Structure 1
Amino acid sequence: MTNSRIPGFYKLSLDQKLDALAKAAGMDLDLLTPLLTSGLLTTQEADLMVENVVATHNLPLGIGLNFTINGIDRLIPMVIEEPSVVAGASFMAKLARTGGGFHATSSAPEMIGQIQILDVDDIPAAIMAIEGERGSLLAQADQIDPILKELGGGARDLEIRVIEDSPIGAFLVLHLIYDVRDAMGANAVNTACEKLAPRLEELTGGRVHLRILSNLSDRRLAKVKCTIPVDELAFETSPHPNLLPRGEGTSPLSPRERAEGEGIRNYTGEEVRDGIIEAWAFAAVDPYRAATHNKGIMNGVDAVVIATGNDWRAIEAGAHAFAARDGKYTSLSTWGQDGDGNLVGTLEMPMAVGIVGGATRVHPTAQIALKLMKVNTASELAEIIVAVGLAQNLAALRALATEGIQRGHMSLHARQVAIAAGASGELVEQVAAQMVAEKMVRIDRAEEILKKKKPIIR
């Protein structure tokens, strides 16, 4: 059984991390070692995936720790270049464990295919004609993928819409509702729409134009909830932070900082809870704030989507369209308190991901990521992804509501700045630590510090 708690994971060497990961996941180490070697996508493999390939582009893959989702511990691969995301999500997952972890659900994996029908002379008659052949149309759509049908998927329903006020006048739109099981579903749905086009033209006397899947997959939703005991939200901080540990969250105060006592701030659980709710309320009513708020959610969501070879652009498009479904762009998450004063958060969003087909089955690292998470269905994967999104949302809100987003983020960002300035080995941490202490995380300052630390070679 997987154990997502690996204390001190960030301190280990790369080899030690893989060994600890294999033990925590109950997997053979040989299945994970390709992450450091042949697990990377080769140019030959990439050349078969997209056009005009000349190279591959690698991003960091970190492991989200401490996650308990529906009572199951999950080790979660996250691919992202932004500092503090993996650490923040992991630390919030640790807090969520104290309240029972994350509880997630998902709806049936039904996607929407849209068929645009133009030049219809009699729209009411066309609608009646389509309704009269509903059964035969669904049966026809079912024939496009016998394997999917055998697995329990296939055409589920037809919805007819009349678009009245468009720049080209009124036209019909037919929605084909299609259960795609464990696939993302774009190919199956697009093929089914193509299959129906000739028959729809016969029935309506119109002209079928676009026939394509919609990325606003609002029939394929994933929802997650967590409860954080209010006492677990309390913490102590100082104006002179050490660098954040990469996998655990805010570092403890040093003995010197405790002795000085200057600027130490104690946040009560109630203060943190109320600050988080107040910060969420801003995003709930203001689209300018909501855009950044939801971007924080997508930091966690996209990282897992990319790690598993899924289409992160489709997920982004669906998420933001869903956030504006009532005519005003708003927060995807909600935060409040229960009757005992504990912090309660929820997140609901479209989640059209798959575990079969496409890059998910072609990219070697995506295959390892799925094995590490031990997911058996696309619905399971969707539930994991929204849990990570809610955890990352909580991490951002907690930072904003208390010590400020820059404190932890800039501590981790300082390492990247130090490397960009030319630091390597132990100098990376030394240069980064000095910039953080000075509250001056800039490349020119990193270069100045590095010049003083590097020995002069004669």
Structure 2
Amino acid sequence: MTHLPVQGFSKLSKQEKIDWIVKEYLDDNKDFEKILKSYLNENADLQKLHEEFSENTLTNFYMPYGIAPNFLIDGKIMAIPMVVEESSVVAAASKAAKFWMEKGGFKTTIINTQKLGHTHFIFDAEPHKIKHFFNFNLKKKLMEATDAITSNMRKRGGGILDIKLIDKTSEMENYYQLKASFNTVDSMGANFINSCLEQFGKTLKDEVQKEESFSQVEKDSLQIVMNILSNYTPDCIVRAEVSCKIEDLKDDSGISNEDFAKKFKQAIRIAEIEPYRATTHNKGIMNGVDAVVIATGNDFRATASCAHAYASKSGSYSSLTHCTIDNGIFRFWIDLPISVGVVGGLTNLHPLVKFSLALLGKPSAQELMSILAVSGLAQNFGALRSLITTGIQKGHMKMHLLNILNQMGATEEEKAHFVNYFKDKTVTHHEVISEFEKLRNV
């Protein structure tokens, strides 16, 4: 079927949008219209608030909001909110939290909080003149030009930390950057950083035209390509770690403490040297991180892209977590680059985001960084613990069981039967179907 383009879709009312979508793409099936409307919030004000978060909103898309309790982080017991649809993520994090609570819990360290942004520009002028111009004129002018923009941020203890001229002409003809580092305190800071950078672009253009050392041909060659923050923040780093004596690594799977520690370290080393494994390994870490990022109204795409870029900083994609065994001490840690905020954006608007931040004790941005790193470390520990002992499927498929049964239309009584049936068995899709057919005498 060939679909016709639509003009002015954004200007249509919500009902008109729904009518057009259902008619044009869904064969005018009113059941789909009912599905869309069934997810709308009955509270009109709350629904309007949700619709204003994004464009062309038809309805809401719900995801489970769960809690992973018993996290001992830097001496404080916390319950962590997690928004995630994947079976076993919350359970694995909770199990890891309980395991480490008895061994002193998680310790965190904020290593740095610098965020970055760039003005990318093309300038066909003599390099030594550009460098002299930046060092003895432009840098000061850039700071002065953004004084009004940074005023409030400076009052809160943040602002522009430094501006550097980066020569990239060896990689692209006449390509330079103004690389700026920022401290945005408790905000993620995207709008602040981008506003500063856009002013950099304007100031650069104005000052080049005034600079007598450049010829008119050189001045005319200047092109401001773009001014934009970077979601890669390798200098905004938090470390989370756990450690204990090997003799305290008691696992209920029957494996000895020494073998557990040895296999765990081997699993980490494989992820450090093998990108195929590292990709899945780090995805599991981000299961924990992004679930909390979403629950606290932050940008999970930004945190994921930053983490994966950082995992490639050596030139080969590698594990974000590491493990050592020294003098009988097992140590497991993560260095996570992450940029988040607790003010601005959805933090003051979305009711469940406000709930999440209240649940976490209204953390600062640095405290939230620590919580996120711990969540990722716990998730990774839970996954590796399963992989090196019982295997990943035993726990994962047990959590996935209800999804399979719901797809098959099982009743509550049938669900109870299956939970009991698989109490001491590994769940497989084939076995569920087979037992389901027996139960219903199919």
Do the structures match in fold with TM over 0.5?
yes
Which of 147, 162, 172 matches 2:167? Answer: 162
SS for the counterpart of 1:271 is helix
Name the counterpart of 1:230: 246
Question: CA 1:65–1:229 in structure 2 vs 1: closer, same or farther (change >3 Å)?
Answer: farther
Structure 1 unmatched ranges of 5 or more: 1-36, 238-265
Name the counterpart of 2:230: 214
For the pair 1:418 / 2:413, whether they are aligned, the reply is: no
The AA in structure 2 aligned to 1:45 is: L
CA deviation vs aligned residue, 1:208-265 (integer Å, no higher than 9, x gap):
111100011112111111114423433344xxxxxxxxxxxxxxxxxxxxxxxxxxxx
SS for the counterpart of 1:290 is helix
**How many Å apart are 1:181 and its aligned residue?**
0.7
SS for the counterpart of 1:195 is helix
SS for the counterpart of 1:182 is coil
CA deviation vs aligned residue, 1:124-179 (integer Å, no higher than 9, x gap):
2112211223233223234214322211111110122111344x523101111111
Q: What TM-score, normalized to structure 2?
A: 0.82
2: distance between equivalents of 1:387 and 1:409?
Answer: 21
The AA in structure 2 aligned to 1:210 is: M
2: distance between equivalents of 1:175 and 1:211?
Answer: 10
1: distance between equivalents of 2:109 and 2:226?
Answer: 33
- Map of 1:27-426 to 2, 5 A cutoff? 42-133=46-137, 134-166=139-171, 168-204=172-208, 205=219, 206-237=222-253, 266-339=254-327, 341-426=328-413
2: distance between equivalents of 1:152 and 1:438?
Answer: 57
Question: CA 1:404–1:104 in structure 2 vs 1: closer, same or farther (change >3 Å)?
Answer: same
1: distance between equivalents of 2:413 and 2:151?
Answer: 58
The AA in structure 1 aligned to 2:362 is: V
Alignment check: 8 A CA contact 2:401 2:427 kept: no
**How many Å apart are 1:342 and its aligned residue?**
3.0
Alignment check: 8 A CA contact 2:123 2:176 kept: no
Alignment check: 8 A CA contact 1:99 1:229 kept: no
Percent identity over the alignment is 32
Alignment check: 8 A CA contact 2:146 2:196 kept: yes
Alignment check: 8 A CA contact 1:98 1:229 kept: no
1: distance between equivalents of 2:124 and 2:185?
Answer: 34
**How many Å apart are 1:425 and its aligned residue?**
2.4
Alignment check: 8 A CA contact 2:398 2:427 kept: no
Question: CA 1:157–1:44 in structure 2 vs 1: closer, same or farther (change >3 Å)?
Answer: same
2: distance between equivalents of 1:330 and 1:447?
Answer: 39
2: distance between equivalents of 1:39 and 1:270?
Answer: 56
2: distance between equivalents of 1:39 and 1:82?
Answer: 28
SS for the counterpart of 2:379 is helix
Name the counterpart of 2:37: none
Question: CA 1:38–1:67 in structure 2 vs 1: closer, same or farther (change >3 Å)?
Answer: farther
**How many Å apart are 1:111 and its aligned residue?**
1.3
**How many Å apart are 1:453 and its aligned residue?**
3.8
**How many Å apart are 1:121 and its aligned residue?**
1.8
Structure 2 unmatched ranges of 5 or more: 1-40, 209-218
Question: CA 1:447–1:405 in structure 2 vs 1: closer, same or farther (change >3 Å)?
Answer: closer
The AA in structure 1 aligned to 2:302 is: A
**How many Å apart are 1:332 and its aligned residue?**
0.7
Alignment check: 8 A CA contact 1:123 1:172 kept: no
- Root mean square deviation, CA, Å: 2.3
Question: CA 1:219–1:175 in structure 2 vs 1: closer, same or farther (change >3 Å)?
Answer: same
CA deviation vs aligned residue, 1:162-211 (integer Å, no higher than 9, x gap):
11344x52310111111111011111000100011121123443221111
Alignment check: 8 A CA contact 1:163 1:173 kept: yes
2: distance between equivalents of 1:229 and 1:453?
Answer: 49
1: distance between equivalents of 2:187 and 2:44?
Answer: 23
2: distance between equivalents of 1:437 and 1:401?
Answer: 19
1: distance between equivalents of 2:359 and 2:278?
Answer: 33
SS for the counterpart of 1:124 is helix
**How many Å apart are 1:85 and its aligned residue?**
1.2
